[in-house]
Amino acid sequence: MIPTKDIENIDDIKKMVNMFYGKVRKDNLIGPIFNNAIQDHWNEHLEKLYLFWQSRLFGDPVYDGFPFPPHAKLPINKEHFDRWLTLFTETVDNLFIGSVADEAKNRAYKIADVFQDKLAYIRNKSNK
């Protein structure tokens, strides 16, 4: 099915997040990492992600967390971020078309870049 609309509201964000993390949970590379970290708290995690993306895409001040610290402890590297980005981009492209969808993908790439830079800093610092 070819997407015909942009991301317009919280229901669209929920659709995107749910489909994306459905793929993540089943993925043979990143699924085990996420499933081990989140365990049986997926509903709570998804609720945070809805708010995170609502804040980022619509500017609504509904998320005030710090997403990086929980990721700092995970055994992840560039290969994992690349898979995460592939699945995210694929999900957005399958569901939506438009400027907000493009912004979601751009934000995902920026998040991945920042997280990788922070992880490299932490890991280099701890190796000294």
> What is the CATH number for 56?
1.10.490.10
Domain count, the chain: 1
- Counting every residue written for the chain, the total comes to 128
Residue spans of alpha helices (H) in the chain:
10-26, 31-38, 42-58, 68-72, 78-95, 99-126
Look at residue 4 and tell me if it is in a domain.
no
Model confidence over 21-32: pLDDT tens digits? Answer: 999 999 999 999
Domain that includes residue 68, residue range: 10-126
The whole-number pLDDT of residue 70 equals: 86
Angstrom distance (rounded) from CA 91 to CA 42 = 19
Look at residue 3 and tell me if it is in a domain.
no
Task: Find where tokens 């070819």 sit.
Answer: 2
45 annotated as ligand-binding = no
* Residue bearing the bigger pLDDT, 105 or 71: 105
Look at residue 58 and tell me if it is in a domain.
yes
pLDDT band at 128 (very low <50, low <70, confident <90, very high): low
Look at residue 109 and tell me if it is in a domain.
yes
55, 61 Cβ separation under 8 angstroms: yes
DSSP state of 74: S
